[in-house]
Amino acid sequence: MTLLDKDGVRLTVDEAVAVATVTLANGAKRNAQSPAMWRALTEAGRLLPGSVRVVVLRGEGMSFSAGLDRQAFTPEGFDGEPSFPELARSTDDELDAVIAEYQEAFTWWRRNDLVTIAAVQGHAIGAGFQLALACDIRVCADDAQFAMRETSLGLVPDLTGTHPLVGLVGYARALEICATGRFVRAAEAERIGLANLVVPVAELDSATRDLTAALLAAPRDAVIETKALLRGATERGYEEQRVAERAAQARRLRDLAGLSD
Query: SS3 letters for 222-244?
Result: HHHHHHHHHHHHCCCCHHHHHHH
Helix, strand or coil, per DSSP, at residue 243: helix
DSSP symbols for 140-157: EETT-EEE--TGGGT---
Q: In this model, does residue 61 exceed pLDDT 80?
A: yes
Band (pLDDT 50/70/90 cuts) for residue 72 is confident
Say which CATH superfamily domain 2-216 falls into: 2-enoyl-CoA Hydratase; Chain A, domain 1 (3.90.226.10)
Band (pLDDT 50/70/90 cuts) for residue 76 is confident
The pLDDT of residue 83: 83
* Residues 148-163: tens digit of each pLDDT: 999 999 999 999 999 9
Question: What is the spatial order of strands in the sheet that 123-125 belongs to?
Answer: 123-125, 145-147, 184-185
Q: How far apart are CA 52 and CA 67, in angstroms?
A: 27
Give counts: helices (H), strands (E), the chain.
10, 10
Q: Dihedrals φ, ψ of 58, to 5°?
A: -140, 165
Average pLDDT taken over every residue of the chain: 96
The pLDDT of residue 166: 97
Q: b vs e for 212-224, b when ≥16 Cβ sit within 10 Å of the residue's Cβ? A: beebbeeeeeebb
Average pLDDT over residues 222-229: 98
The pLDDT of residue 141: 98
Tell me if 32 sits within 8 A of 24, measured CB to CB. Answer: no
The pLDDT of residue 184: 98
Q: In this model, does residue 260 exceed pLDDT 80?
A: no
Tell me if 111 sits within 8 A of 141, measured CB to CB. Answer: no
Tell me if 84 sits within 8 A of 51, measured CB to CB. Answer: no
Tell me if 122 sits within 8 A of 143, measured CB to CB. Answer: yes
Q: How far apart are CA 13 and CA 49, in angstroms?
A: 8
Band (pLDDT 50/70/90 cuts) for residue 84 is confident
Band (pLDDT 50/70/90 cuts) for residue 220 is very high
* Residues 85-144: tens digit of each pLDDT: 888 899 999 999 999 999 999 999 999 999 999 999 999 999 999 999 999 999 999 999
Q: How far apart are CA 21 and CA 258, in angstroms?
A: 33
Tell me if 67 sits within 8 A of 32, measured CB to CB. Answer: yes
| Longest pairwise C-alpha distance within the chain | 63
DSSP E strand boundaries for the chain? 2-6, 9-14, 19-24, 54-59, 115-120, 123-125, 137-141, 145-147, 184-185, 197-199
* Residues 167-196: tens digit of each pLDDT: 999 999 999 999 999 999 999 999 999 999
Where are the chain's structural domains? 2-216, 220-256
| Residue 89: exposure state from Cβ atoms within 10 A (0-12, 13-18, ≥19) | exposed
